[in-house]
């Protein structure tokens, strides 16, 4: 799979102008270097990832003027009666994000991936949690992840995560850029309520989904390492 396939299609169909398309393609190497960095720092392969040619805007409820921006998402996908997990990276993040920001977000989504795989392996998840409040959502997000220090052995990457995810991701400069250069230009936007950001997973699908034994072993090692670490609030 070409991770930029949907971006190429959006440009071909006139949804993304030439200048921004070229910027996305040019800066995709920053995302690739982030994926390679996460793999090196964790010793675990990064899941399938692709660039979505849109920004995701979440609202507490339809019609609300209050909204948050999601720059990447970890998405369970039902395919051939099995469950796969993919990382969706938004095009505006690739185009306008600083290197440290992109790497931090990729590392954060990787933690989501590990948590999903842990739940799948233990048959703990039939559906993800629903919350309609942006603050509650960010708090919930931070409390259900693997301890980053047990996953990554890259001190600079850990610093990026700590700096950018104190209580849910916020990067005001990046958000301003995306609002002015993407949203206000009427470029592709996925507008959704947080109540709809959920995938229901039937028990039989989980039963048909196997987790790589090597990944299981790595996650066990991470949990053991986390249990020995002195508590430290990174998120």
**Spatial CB neighbours of 158, under 8 Å, sequence gap ≥ 6:** 148, 149, 152, 234
Q: Identify which of 133-137, 145-149, 162-166, 212-216 has the greatest average pLDDT.
A: 212-216
pLDDT digits (tens, 9 = 90+) for 42-68: 999 999 999 999 999 886 655 555 668
Number of domains forming the structure of the chain: 1
Query: Does a structural domain hold residue 234?
Result: no
Residue 121 belongs to domain spanning: 5-223
The predicted pLDDT at position 191 comes to: 85
Query: Does a structural domain hold residue 235?
Result: no
The predicted pLDDT at position 76 comes to: 85
Query: Does a structural domain hold residue 199?
Result: yes
CB atoms within 10 A of CB 16: 24
Query: Does a structural domain hold residue 23?
Result: yes
Among candidate residues 95, 80, 72, the one with its CA nearest the CA of residue 181: 95
Query: Does a structural domain hold residue 231?
Result: no
Query: Does a structural domain hold residue 142?
Result: yes
Query: Does a structural domain hold residue 230?
Result: no
pLDDT digits (tens, 9 = 90+) for 123-160: 765 444 443 333 334 434 554 578 899 999 999 999 88
β partners of residue 191: 57
Query: Does a structural domain hold residue 211?
Result: yes
pLDDT digits (tens, 9 = 90+) for 77-111: 877 777 888 999 999 999 999 999 999 999 999 99
């Amino acid at each position: 799979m070409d991770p930029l396939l949907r971006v190429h299609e959006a440009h071909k169909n006139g949804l993304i102008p030439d200048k921004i398309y070229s910027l996305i393609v040019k800066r995709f190497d920053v995302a690739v270097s982030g994926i390679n960095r996460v793999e090196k720092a964790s010793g675990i392969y990064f899941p399938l990832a692709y660039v979505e040619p849109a920004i995701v805007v979440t609202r507490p409820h339809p019609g609300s003027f209050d909204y948050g921006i999601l720059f990447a998402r970890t998405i369970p996908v039902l395919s051939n009666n099995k469950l796969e997990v993919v990382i969706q990276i938004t095009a505006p993040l690739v185009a306008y994000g600083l290197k440290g920001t992109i790497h931090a977000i990729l590392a954060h989504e990787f933690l989501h991936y590990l948590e999903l795989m842990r739940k799948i392996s233990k048959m703990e998840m039939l559906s993800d949690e629903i919350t309609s409040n942006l603050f509650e959502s960010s708090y919930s997000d931070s409390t259900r992840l693997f301890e980053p220090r047990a996953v990554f052995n890259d001190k600079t990457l850990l610093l990026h995560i700590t700096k950018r995810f104190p209580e849910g991701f916020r990067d005001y400069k990046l958000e301003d850029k995306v609002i002015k250069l993407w949203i206000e230009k009427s470029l592709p936007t996925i507008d959704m309520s947080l109540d709809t950001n959920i995938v229901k997973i039937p028990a039989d699908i989980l039963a048909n989904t196997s987790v790589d034994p090597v990944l299981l072993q790595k996650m066990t090692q991470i949990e053991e390492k986390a249990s020995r670490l002195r508590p430290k609030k990174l998120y």
